[in-house]
Copies of this chain bind each other. A is one copy, B any other.
Amino acid sequence: MQSIPNWLKQRAMLTPHREALTYGEQSWTFLELQQKSEQYAQRIVRFLLNKNAVVAVLLKNRPHAVWIIHALQQLKVQTVFLNKQLTSEELTFQLKDSQAALLICENEFEVILEELEKKTLRVVTVADLNGMSQQPIDKREMFALDDVCSIMYTSGTTGKPKGVLQTYGNHWWSAVGSVLNLGLNEKDTWLCTMPLFHISGLSILIRSVVYGMPVYLMEQFDEKKVNQLLQTGKITIMSVVSTMVQRMLTDLGEKNYAPALRCLLLGGGPAPKPLLEACKSKGIPIFQTYGMTETASQIVTLSPEDSLKKLGSAGKPLFPAQIRIISEEGTAGAHTVGEIMVKGPNVTKGYLNRPDANKASFQNGWFLTGDIGSIDEEGYLYVLDRRSDLIISGGENIYPAEIEEVLIAHDAIAEAGVAGVEDPEWGKVPYGFVVSNETVSEAELLSFCRDKLAKYKVPKRIFFVKTLPKTASNKLLRRELTALIPS
């Protein structure tokens, strides 16, 4: 089995005095990161009765989260990353499903945890941990690439959430694939406002130790703070989703970012073209990308030379990866819409204890993403939608993203979401949900859509709402839109 040196230990040995982490006014070098992580490992070790234990974390984007995440890798445990927006029922499911033996959580979450069944689970807060004495631990020299490093739950299209197994190798190859596309400069600093319990956040921490690159960590996304920071020249790369960029542009107004900013890496689903065009017209280096929990972040990304030329495409696969479109007739040719399949060493080896889902998701070493897209004759991927959001209406396929793009193009509309609603005549019909920033009537919007969309794609109703439902990483939750329909 292929292995690499323990990445934290190796990085701290190679470039001990290089900056590793910045949080507000404080900074830590890679040597300090290693020391802090080792201290946490020496406190956590008392709870680990068996090797290959599973430990869950329920943490915010704070420095101790970074140290604890690395500490758990030093202890060779599999870390379950819990989303802080989950209900206690959802948390209970994930803790039981993963058979976690320990849960480490922020002090303020303790109250939630009292509701959790604790019989088979130890719960410890960060404050508790900080007060504990340290015990010596075995130093881990190597990371076997096939060992599971992290487990993150995804909802999938139906049924209970599934635990995605992410190996050290998945993370390693993801980091390597990204560097071969984006390059690596001495001045690179990656801004992380994505939650660390999502792959978009965790992958930044791993790139940091693999590349020897500082991470600027923020507890949460705040467009004003981000915009100020991006004007200083301290940040060169930032991971974003569409709604974040939308808010950043609105706040930015006539100002612009420092030239040091070389990449806004845009993930989390298809991006509205007007947004991409707004970035292009301001010269903001936005790179669309496509990835998911199962691919340990990006697997398809635009290259620097294409970032502003190929607006609307998610790009080409990272160097170690491959993509393919399959339709009912098999592998699809250029421009044919079908399901996106991916392959590569960054792709998960499967879901925890879900033989059926694993059987359904893999085919000859290829992973079926469930997402819909096409590849053009040059090899660029266009992601049309997540399959679960597909609206089939009178036998026609409707992709919500296409309608949302039209709605957002209207001057009065800040954000839009579209979902299918049961209809006796057509099976499903699209409904629109919009956040407006000036007065506009439903009739006017419908007329605007009729100008731009085939008749069957025009929403049957459009509702004005204050906010759209989103995940913690700011992805639109289309399946929750219909709950916004006034009763």
Residues of A within 8 A of B (CB): 2, 4-5, 7, 10-11, 13-16, 18, 176, 179-180, 183-186, 210-212, 303-305, 316-317, 319-322, 345, 378-379
Complex CA–CA separation, A7 to B5 (angstroms): 25
Task: Report yes or no: A186 in contact with B183, Cβ–Cβ below 8 A.
Answer: yes
Interface centre among A14, A184, A304, A317 (most CB of B within 10 A): A14
Task: Report yes or no: B316 in contact with A13, Cβ–Cβ below 8 A.
Answer: yes
Name the B residues within 8 Å of A304 (CB-CB): 186
Q: Other CB < 8 Å A-B pairs besides A183-B186, A184-B184, 5 of them?
A: A4-B319, A5-B321, A10-B319, A13-B316, A14-B319
Interface centre among A4, A317, A319, A320 (most CB of B within 10 A): A319
When all copies of this chain in the complex are counted, the total is 2
Task: Report yes or no: B5 in contact with A320, Cβ–Cβ below 8 A.
Answer: yes
Task: Report yes or no: A322 in contact with B5, Cβ–Cβ below 8 A.
Answer: yes
Task: Report yes or no: B212 in contact with A180, Cβ–Cβ below 8 A.
Answer: yes
A12 nearest CB neighbor, chain B only: B379
Whole-angstrom distance between the Cβ of A486 and the nearest chain B Cβ:
49
Name the B residues within 8 Å of A10 (CB-CB): 319
Task: Report yes or no: A184 in contact with B183, Cβ–Cβ below 8 A.
Answer: yes
Name the B residues within 8 Å of A184 (CB-CB): 179-180, 183-184
Name the B residues within 8 Å of A180 (CB-CB): 179, 184, 210-212
Partner of A2, one of B2, B7, B179, B321: B2
Partner of A185, one of B183, B316, B321: B183
A378 nearest CB neighbor, chain B only: B16
Complex CA–CA separation, A183 to B187 (angstroms): 10
Partner of A176, one of B176, B322, B378: B176
10 pairs from A and B in contact (CB 8 Å cutoff): A5-B320, A5-B322, A10-B319, A11-B319, A13-B379, A14-B379, A15-B305, A176-B176, A179-B180, A180-B210
Name the B residues within 8 Å of A317 (CB-CB): 14
